[in-house]
Every structure is written in C-alpha cells, then in structure tokens.
Amino acid sequence: MFIHELQGWPHFTWDEAVVAEVLAPLQRHQDRLLGRMAAFGRSVQGEANLRSLTAEALMTSEIEGELLDLDQVRSSFARRLNLNIGVLTPADRHVEGLVDVILDATQRYDAPLSAERLFTWHRLLFPDGVDDDGVLTVGAWRTGPMRVISGHVDRVKVHFIAPDAKRLERECARFFRWFNTQDSQNGVLKAAIAHLWFITIHPFDDGNGRVARAITELSLARAEARPWRCYSLSSQIRAERRDYYKALEAAQRGGLDITPWLLWFMGCLDRALLSAEELLADVLHKARFWAEHHDKPLNPRQRLMLNDLLDGSFIGKLTSSKWAKLTGCSQDTAGRDLDALVKLGLLIKSAAGGRSTAYSLAPLPTAESGYPNG
C-alpha cells in the first residue's frame, strides 16, 4: 500500500525528540546565514538573490532532465528584479515561464496557495500546451491515472501510483486548507511536509516535481518572511538526486510516521546552506573587487569579461582568442584589452607567449578594512 491509501492519511506523525535534535542546529545555521545577508547592502543582497534564483531555476529543471541556458535564465531574473548585469540575453517562453513561477512563489510568499494559482504556474511551465510526448492537460488537474515508473518496456518497475483522479479535488482542497492555515507549525517542517504531500497527490499530468519545489520555496520564504533568497534547495537536491528519489519512494511506501523523510529533508537543506556560505563568499569577493577597482578606466568588453570571471561562469583558461570570440572583437583588440588589464593590476598572465598565454584574476589585497569578512 502507498501512504495515501492508509487509514488516517494525511495525518502525518514523527518522532518529536529525534526531529528536534536535528532541527535546532539547522535553524541556528539558517538564522546565522540570513542574519549575515540582512546586514549587507542592497548590491550584495541583489547579487546573492540573483545567483540563488538562477541556480534554483536551472537545477529544478535539470532534476527533470531539462537543461536551460544560463544566460537566458540569469537575464530573465535580472530584468524582472531591475538588476544591472550589463547586456541581457533574450529568453524563450519556457525560461520566462519558469522564472515567473519562481518569482511568484518567492516574492508573493504571503499570498494564499490555491488551485487557480497552481493552474497559472502550470500554464507558465508548459506554454506550448504539450510535454515531450506531445499530449498534456495544461492548467487543470489530470483526468487519468498516474504512475511513476522506470526501466524498459518489457521490465517496468513501478515506484509509485498516485491517488485516483476522482480524488484530486478533495485531496488538493485539503492540502490548500492546511498550507494556508497560520499555525504554530515550524516553517522548515511545514516545507518538508508540503513537499512530500504535494508530490504524493501528483495532481498534474507533468511538472509535479517543479511545482512541488516551487511550493517548497514559497513555504521557506514564508517562514523566513523575506522575498530574497540566498540559497538554492533545488541545487542540493540535484546534487543528491538519487537519494532524493529514494527518500521520497521510501516515504510513500512507508507509514504515516515520516521521521526519515523529515531527517533527509533537513539534512539536504543544511547542506544547501553550507553551499550558500560559499556563494556568499564569492559575492562578497566580487563586491570587494569592484570596490577596490571602481576608479579603473574600463571599456564594456573588459567589464563583461571580468564579471564572467568573478561569477565563475567562465569555463577553461582565458586567452586572447577566447576573449576575441566571446566579445566579438578582433584578435589585436583582444590583446590590447588584456594588456591594459594586466597593467592596471586586474589580471595576471602566465609565462607562455603568443595566443596560448593564459590570464587570470589578480588577487585582492589581504586587508579587508571596511568589508565584512566572507
């Protein structure tokens, strides 16, 4: 039997003492990170928010096997958040739709969750009205059965069978009542329960995972009472995708005591916070870099490429050939741009000569007077 078939569903239980032992240090970690973020200026908050939201969009899609273009996603968020990142890359409807969903979840976290809101999200996720198989009910609950399977056609493994379509109206209405009720339920635990509960209902033909993770982000944002994000849970779930599916399947095949699921979720969130510490250090380094070099005479090409290096989005070694290709300038211009940055002390170059010479960011001075420690 699956969990939704058990008598007492969906009245979940858990071991209070075991959960509290993990929850207390997790919340201290979360509060510490959020406190650091709140102390920084708007530019640092904006950059951290942009990076976190971009990672969330990319990874929630990659979990489902869909790869999105980084520049499109980043540009779409920057445009909506009025952040200046230089040249913006036009985004297709699928990227724009997902960005709209994530921003609605995280910026309007205090708005009630409803069928109409989720139908809007679903239409945004599938703007063409079809999935990879060419058939999809968009903006409405599914009308047929739903199974989560894997394996070949002649040897299918059934991981989960969702509630019958006839139950969906009642199941979702009950979920919304619980989710929208303001009670004493801990915010992290509510996010974990909401994720498992919605995934178990599985009310859509497709996109249930992405919607569930958006609901989780909404729940976490509501608990934190902040519209900006400084970590990406989906990034950590992507890194632990196999364990994520195992934890979900075990919970859906287990009893109403969901202690193991809560422990896995909290552990995953704590590891996401650890990753956010690294992200914040990168953001602070970027802020320090531009504060240190704000008066340097730079052209748009140089600012663009320096930001790529600071963002960690540049792959491989930086050479004059790559500079010319990425900025659309001539080889001679690329050489002059790079030589100027070396003379200004922003880049250092390897000992090799010619076009194979590689360049990297020059280290900042050790003293960090006036800047928060990263």
Backbone angles phi, psi at 273, to 5 degrees: -65, -35
Tell whether 235 and 313 lie within a shared domain. no
d(CA 104, CA 344): 43
Tell whether 158 and 245 lie within a shared domain. yes
Instruction: Answer with the one of 284, 314, 348 that is the final residue of a domain.
Output: 284
Q: What share of the chain is helix, strand, coil (3-state, %, to 5)?
A: 60, 5, 35
pLDDT averaged over the chain?
Answer: 91
Instruction: Identify whether 313 is part of a domain.
Output: yes
Tell whether 137 and 260 lie within a shared domain. yes
Tell whether 19 and 102 lie within a shared domain. yes
Tell whether 231 and 128 lie within a shared domain. yes
Instruction: Identify whether 367 is part of a domain.
Output: no
What pLDDT, on a 0 to 100 scale, did the predictor assign at position 307? Answer: 85
Query: How does 174-193 read in b/e, with b if 16+ C-beta sit within 10 Å?
Result: ebbebbeeeeeeebbbbbbb
Tell whether 239 and 265 lie within a shared domain. yes
Q: Which residues contact 6 (CB under 8 A, 6 or more apart)?
A: 255, 256
Bridge partners of 257, per DSSP, are 13
308, 258 in Cβ contact below 8 A?
Answer: no
Tell whether 149 and 63 lie within a shared domain. yes
Tell whether 87 and 176 lie within a shared domain. yes
In the numeric block, which tokens belong to residue 319?
A: 């050479």
Q: Is 130 left (phi over 0), alpha (psi -120 to 50) or beta?
A: beta
101, 170 in Cβ contact below 8 A?
Answer: no
More confident position, 164 or 349? 164
pTM for this prediction: 0.84
pLDDT in tens, 258-271: 999 999 999 999 99
- Domain CATH code at residue 312: 1.10.10.10
- Domain CATH code at residue 21: 1.10.3290.10
Instruction: Answer with the one of 284, 304, 328 that is the final residue of a domain.
Output: 284
Instruction: Identify whether 226 is part of a domain.
Output: yes
Instruction: Answer with the one of 224, 258, 284 that is the final residue of a domain.
Output: 284
Work out how many domains the chain is built from and give that number.
2
Tell whether 126 and 207 lie within a shared domain. yes
pLDDT at 132 > cutoff 70: no
Instruction: Identify whether 290 is part of a domain.
Output: no
Structural domain harbouring 351: 296-361
What pLDDT, on a 0 to 100 scale, did the predictor assign at position 150? Answer: 83
Instruction: Identify whether 213 is part of a domain.
Output: yes
d(CA 195, CA 162): 15
pLDDT in tens, 342-363: 999 999 988 666 667 899 999 8
pLDDT at 311 > cutoff 90: no
Instruction: Identify whether 371 is part of a domain.
Output: no
Q: Please compute the mean of the pLDDT values over residues 154-167 and round it to a whole number.
A: 91
Tell whether 219 and 252 lie within a shared domain. yes
d(CA 309, CA 315): 9
Q: Which residues contact 260 (CB under 8 A, 6 or more apart)?
A: 247, 250, 251, 254
d(CA 151, CA 71): 34
